[in-house]
């Protein structure tokens, strides 16, 4: 039998796994780190710039900065969800990667995508439950941390 395999078989399991993983690496193409990062940078940056532009426009119309910010968030979320529904978002993110996943658009997408997917399982346990299958952990962890931070700052004030 293969000498490589025999060699692998005589070692403890963890070491075999490690060695095999190393061996596999030489056959695995690497992601295009630079071009992926560049695309993410450009698209992500552009989304943030566009958000700022909309925010400034809203402030000019007389909204407070805080509510303008909230409106911008809502606009971005709705836009991302609409694109997800139209089946375009995953095409964009295939190109832009983290450029659209890391902005709030990615969060919006991660709510709608599973909800659409499980539509046939009903409006309650399908859409209702699956809206939170990816976003749920984000909200749970985010809100928990915010409560802890709130309590700490309450006692430190």
Partner 1 sequence: MEYFYAFIIGGAICVIGQILIDTTKLTAPRILVIFVVAGAILTGLGIYEPLVKLANNGATVPLPGFGYALAKGAMDGAKDGFLAAVSGGIKDTAAGVAAAVTFGYAIALVFSPKSKR
Partner 2 sequence: MKNKLGKQTFQFPLKPRIIGSCSIVGEKEGKGPMAKWFDIILEDDTFGEKTWEKSESKMLKQALLLALQRSGLEKDQIDSMLTGDLINQLMPSSFMARDLSIPFLGIYGACSTMTESMILGSMMIDGLYASNILIGASSHYCTAERQFRMPLEHGNQRPPSAQWTSTAAGGMVLSANDKGDAAVTQGQDVKEIYITHATPGKIIDAGIKDVNQMGAAMAPAAVDTIVRHLMDTQRAPEFYDLILTGDLGLIGKQIAMDLLNGAGMDVANIYDDCGAMMYFESQDTHGGGSGCGCSASIFSGYVYKEMRSGKIKNALLVSTGALLSTISPQQGESIPGIAHAVAVTTEGGN
Binding site for partner 2 (CB under 8 A): 1-5, 8, 13-14, 16-18, 20-21, 23-24, 27-31, 36, 84-85, 87, 89-90, 92-94, 97, 100-101, 106, 109-110, 112-114, 116-118, 120, 134
Among the listed ranges 7-15, 16-24, 28-36, the one in contact with partner 1 (CB under 8 A) is 28-36
The token pair at 58 is: 């809203």
Output the six-digit token pair for 135: 């976003």
Nearer to partner 1, 9 or 64 (CB): 64
End-to-end CA distance of the chain: 70
Looking only at residues 60 through 99 of this chain, which bind partner 1 when binding is defined by CB under 8 A? 69-70, 72-74, 76-78, 81-82, 84-87, 90, 97-99
Residue 20 touches partner 1, criterion: CB under 8 A: no
What single string gives the DSSP state of each residue in 31-70?
A: P-HHHHHHHHHHHHHHHHHHHHHHHHHHHHTT--HHHHHH
The residues in 107-146 that bind partner 1, with binding defined as CB under 8 A, are 107-108, 110-112, 115-117, 119, 123, 127-128, 131, 134-135, 137-139, 141-143, 145-146
Closest Cα to residue 103, out of 52, 150, 147? Answer: 52
What lies within 8 Å, CB to CB, of 137 at 6+ separation is none
């Amino acid at each position: 039998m293969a000498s490589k395999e025999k060699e692998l078989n005589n070692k403890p399991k963890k070491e075999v796994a490690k060695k095999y993983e190393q061996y596999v690496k030489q056959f695995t193409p690497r992601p295009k780190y630079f071009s992926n990062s560049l695309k993410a940078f450009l698209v992500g940056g552009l989304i943030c710039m566009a958000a700022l532009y909309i925010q400034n426009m809203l402030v000019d119309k007389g909204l407070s900065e805080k509510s303008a910010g909230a409106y911008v968030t809502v606009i971005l979320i709705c836009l991302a969800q609409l694109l997800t529904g139209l089946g375009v978002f995953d095409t964009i993110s295939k190109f832009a990667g983290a450029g659209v996943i890391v902005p709030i658009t990615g969060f919006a997408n991660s709510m709608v995508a599973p909800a659409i997917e499980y539509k046939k399982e009903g409006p309650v346990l399908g859409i209702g439950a699956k809206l939170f299958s990816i976003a749920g952990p984000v909200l749970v962890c985010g809100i928990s941390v915010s409560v802890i931070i709130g309590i700490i700052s309450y006692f430190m004030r």
